[in-house]
Chains A and B, each alone.
Chain A
């Protein structure tokens, strides 16, 4: 089914929002010199986005794909063209192709010069991943050779015999890891592949939505969603406050054959060490076997939900941002009853592919006041990041389908 958007309504809302009159709004907090402009809104449940060499923007959303262009030079993406039939999370450009994905496959459209929405037929790159509800988004990255790295999230919290059931122990070995919970690699230039044509590149990753090829390092990176509910599943070991704070969102370089420890372990931010998960004999402090799984490059706070990762290689931002990582944190739900957290874009300085100093908040204020501490009441939630050819940054939101354009001026 072709997605339809009430474009007249979108235009009206956009005009009102840009004039700053009609909509209850948020003001993003950014470092000095940066400005965020709302360039489009009302695009549905936005996910990732990408910017072409001519400045055209492509947004993936759960409602469908949308191509956007600034047709009159006013700085907003005034022209919007919904296209195709893929509802999902990832969208990337590689050579003359626009690659997209949904929960069961990765596809591509030929993109001809001058076209806003691609007119050519969609090709299937790989399809046939099992349809799941939990952690189903098949986000992916492409390296310069066209190697396709696909995140196949685990449809499980911690591979318990009975998922999310109090006291249920972990399956050992976890059979889910045979087909899920890692990154599978394919030849991204070939069509009509099935999951069987892929190879498991890395494992022990619960859900690596934020997956990115770092061009300056020639290496793959991810910020992985950590596990939920240590308190309700193992109340004798963990409190609600423990659950809200201890299981890191782990930032790793993802190497061929790497194993990042899910579901057997998690990185405990309180102890600053990797611990055995309670489903696998953990007692709240028992450490994982030394050296078996890598420590994260950075342990981000629990439940922040890293949904996109981007290495800055543009020319607009100051020198300190070069090669550093921007991470879009979608924000928590499993921290309740503790206050929700995340809902921001963070910058992690990097040098030579390693962290170079502490991370800092780059853009905040998306959520506004979260009424009743319920994520559905957040005004906006950052979910996608993209760099434009001029080095400026786009941020996509999942609540109302808003896009911000962030620029820097000395």
Chain B
């Protein structure tokens, strides 16, 4: 360890102590898919995939996460039900489209939710997301 990094470590520790926090090494053991789920999906569908009553639906155990990978990729890229369908929905909030995310990120997210909430449904590849995207109207 260099003198500079020691100094930096000491400074960080001092800052942490000064702010009343205990310095501890932070290890983020989450998979890339879990991190991306946390970033884009968790606040609505929650950490357990259980959704929020009257607000956003549960995804855990549902047909979308256990079913066809391409259908799931299309759903996530196009967002929730159209307004006519939503009038019959129990849930207040509409799901926005996530087509702005790259294929690789979507593949990671979909793989994560299928594994965690879809009873170990098969992973989704970047190629499968790309194939689903090819069927989307331009926009």
Known: A333-B55, A376-B51. A165 touches B96 (CB 8 A): yes
- Please report whether the interface of chain B is mostly helix, strand, loop or mixed according to DSSP: loop
Residues from 98 to 141 in A contacting B, C-beta threshold 8 Å: 131, 133-136
A372 contacts chain B at the CB level, 8 A cutoff: yes
| Closest beta carbon of chain A to B66's beta carbon, Å | 20
Beyond A232-B39, A376-B52, is A164–B94 a contact (Cβ under 8 Å)?
Answer: yes
> Contact partner of A374 among B38, B48, B89, B96, CB < 8 A?
B48
Question: Could you mark each residue 36-57 of chain B with 1 if its beta carbon is under 8 Å from any beta carbon of chain A, else 0?
Answer: 0011101110111011110110
Let me know if A134 and B47 touch, CB within 8 A. Answer: no
Inter-chain CA distance A163–B100, complex, in Å, is 15
* Residues in A whose Cβ lies below 8 Å from that of B94: 134, 163-164
Give Cα A166–Cα B99 distance, bound, in whole angstroms: 10
Interface residues in B91-107 (C-beta closer than 8 Å to A): 91-97, 100
Complex contact A162–B96 (CB within 8 A):
yes
- B58 nearest CB neighbor, chain A only: A376
- Residues on the B chain within 8 Å of A131, using CB: 87
Which residues from A are CB-within-8-Å of B86? Answer: 133
- Chain A residues whose C-beta falls within 8 Å of the C-beta of B87 in the assembled complex: 131, 133
Q: With A133-B87, A333-B55 known to touch, is A373 a contact of B43 (CB < 8 Å)? A: no
Query: Hey, which chain A residues are within 8 Å of B43, CB to CB?
Result: 228-229, 231-232, 240, 243, 333-337
A 134-177 to B, binary, CB cutoff 8 A, 1 in contact else 0: 11100000000000000000000100001111111000000000
A376→B53 contact, CB < 8 A: yes
User: In the complex, A373→B86 CA distance in Å?
Assistant: 27
Contact B52 A235 (CB under 8 A): no
Interface size on A, residues (CB 8 A): 31
B48 touches A163 (CB 8 A): no
Q: Which residues of B contact A136 (CB under 8 A)?
A: 92
Tell me if A375 counts as interface (CB < 8 A to partner B).
yes
Alpha-carbon distance between A166 and B105 when the two chains are bound, in angstroms: 15
Query: In the complex, what residues of B have CB within 8 A of residue A157's CB?
Result: 93
Residues of A within 8 A of B79 (CB): 165
Q: How distant is the Cα of A168 from the Cα of B48 in the complex, in angstroms?
A: 28
Q: Mark B15-46, 1 if CB is under 8 A from A, else 0.
A: 00000000000000000000000111011101
Residue of A nearest to B50 (CB): A374
Q: Which of A134, A337, A377 contacts B42 (CB 8 A)?
A: A337
User: Shortest beta-carbon distance, B27 to chain A, in Å?
Assistant: 17
Shortest CB-to-CB span from A147 to chain B, Å, is 29
* A136 to B86 CA separation, bound complex (whole angstroms): 14
Shortest CB-to-CB span from B108 to chain A, Å, is 17
Cβ contacts under 8 Å, A334 to chain B: 43-44
Name A338's closest neighbour in chain B (CB-CB).
B43
What are 16 of the A-B contact pairs (CB < 8 Å)?
A133-B87, A134-B93, A135-B92, A168-B96, A228-B43, A232-B39, A232-B40, A333-B46, A333-B52, A337-B38, A372-B47, A373-B47, A373-B48, A375-B52, A376-B50, A377-B50
5 tightest A-B CB contacts, nearest first: A372-B48, A165-B96, A333-B52, A134-B92, A374-B46
